[in-house]
Structure formats: C-alpha cells, structure tokens
C-alpha cells in the first residue's frame, strides 16, 4: 500500500489541478469570403472561432455542416478531426469549392440572376460541430449567414 501512495497522491493532484469542467466556447463563424470565382467553381472560406479555457485539448469535427447560397444547399463539409489547443483562442478553417452548375437549376436561376445583378450572394453555414475529450462529447449548433460581394 505504501508503494502506491505516491501514485495515488499524484493522480489526485493532477485531477484537481487540471481544469476540464468547461467545454470550449463556440464564438461564431467569421471571415466568410469568396476566395475565387470563375465559370466552373466558386471557392468560399470561413473560420469557426472557438476559445478553450481547459488544461486539456480535445478534438473537433465538422459533420454535416452545410453551405447554402441564396437559401439553396450547395455543399456539405465532412472533415477530419481538428486538434483543440489548450487554454487558447483558435479558429478552424472551413473552405469549400462549389461547382457553379450546382447553383444553377430551375429553382434558383431567378435568385442567382438577381445576385449577379446586385453583385451579392447570401452565404449561410448551418449544421453541427462535435467536440470530444476523454470520452465526453458535446455538439455546437452553427447557423451563420452573411451577404458577400461578388467580384466580376
């Protein structure tokens, strides 16, 4: 028993000195912008902004995060896991390339034409981001919309 005492004391010291009582805070989606637009593709990027108050890292994964342009779903994100840094503000880059022919269909031609005339696109990120650490998991709901200028 006396051989185990230092290990038990070390375990409880580490347990009570590490803060893992809070999940990282989802601040929002920002920096939504068009990186490139041409006849074949539109490349859109954004950053999912978080802050982690904990002494432990974890993993974030974007499953079924969808991109809408002018209220029509045009793409889905399914990413690899992203490592969450300890006690830090951080951003996850969200970049997607969308084929322009997926935007143009009979339902959205009117909206797309008015967007081209006004040189604005309504871009929306909607879905969930999952967080995992030490067997604990939680989900963040994402619903962020922004109007973006198109450069022709």
pLDDT computed for residue 121 by the predictor: 77
Q: Residue 4: inside a domain, yes or no?
A: no
pLDDT of amino acid 2 = 55
pLDDT value of position 89: 92
Specify the pLDDT at position 151.
63
106 located within any domain = yes
Q: Are 60 and 137 in contact (CB under 8 A)?
A: no
Residue 38 lies in domain? 22-149
Residue 118 falls within a domain, yes or no? Answer: yes
Determine the pLDDT at residue 150: 66
The reported pLDDT for the residue numbered 7 is 55
- Please report whether residue 104 resides in a domain: yes
Q: Does some domain include residue 1?
A: no
Count: domains in the chain: 1
**How many C-alpha atoms does 35 have within 13 Å on its Cβ side?**
13
Q: What is the pLDDT of residue 14?
A: 47
Per-residue pLDDT of the chain (152 residues; tens, 9 = 90+): 556 665 555 455 444 554 455 778 889 888 888 888 787 888 888 888 999 888 888 888 887 788 888 788 888 876 778 888 888 999 988 888 888 776 665 455 555 555 555 567 788 889 998 888 877 788 889 999 988 876 65
Residue 101 · residue 39 · CB < 8 Å: no
Long-range contacts of 69-72 (CB under 8 A, 24+ apart): 69/42, 69/98, 69/103, 69/121, 69/122, 69/123, 69/124, 70/108, 70/111, 70/112, 70/115, 70/121, 70/122, 71/111, 71/122, 71/124, 72/103, 72/105, 72/107, 72/108, 72/111
SS3 for 54? coil
The CATH number assigned to the domain holding 95 equals: 2.60.40.10
* CA 31 vs CA 17, 20, 92, 115, 125: distances in Å: 36, 29, 11, 20, 12
Residue 5 in domain: no
Residue 76 lies in a domain: yes
Q: Is residue 10 part of a domain?
A: no
Tokens 């994402």, residue located: 142
pLDDT at residue 143, rounded to an integer: 92
């Amino acid at each position: 028993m006396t051989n185990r005492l230092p290990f038990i004391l070390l375990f409880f010291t580490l347990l009570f000195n590490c803060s893992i009582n809070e999940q990282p805070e989802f601040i929002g989606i920002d920096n939504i912008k068009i990186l490139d637009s041409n006849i074949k593709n539109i490349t859109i990027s954004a950053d999912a902004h978080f802050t982690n108050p904990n002494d432990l890292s974890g993993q974030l994964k974007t499953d079924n995060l969808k991109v809408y342009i002018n209220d029509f779903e045009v793409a889905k994100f399914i990413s690899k896991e992203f490592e969450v840094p300890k006690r830090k503000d951080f951003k996850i880059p969200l970049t997607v390339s969308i084929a322009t022919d997926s935007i143009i269909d009979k339902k959205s031609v009117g909206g797309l034409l008015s967007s081209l005339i006004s040189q604005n696109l309504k871009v929306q990120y909607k879905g969930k981001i999952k967080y995992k650490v030490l067997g604990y998991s939680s989900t963040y709901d994402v619903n962020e919309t922004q109007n973006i200028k198109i450069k022709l």
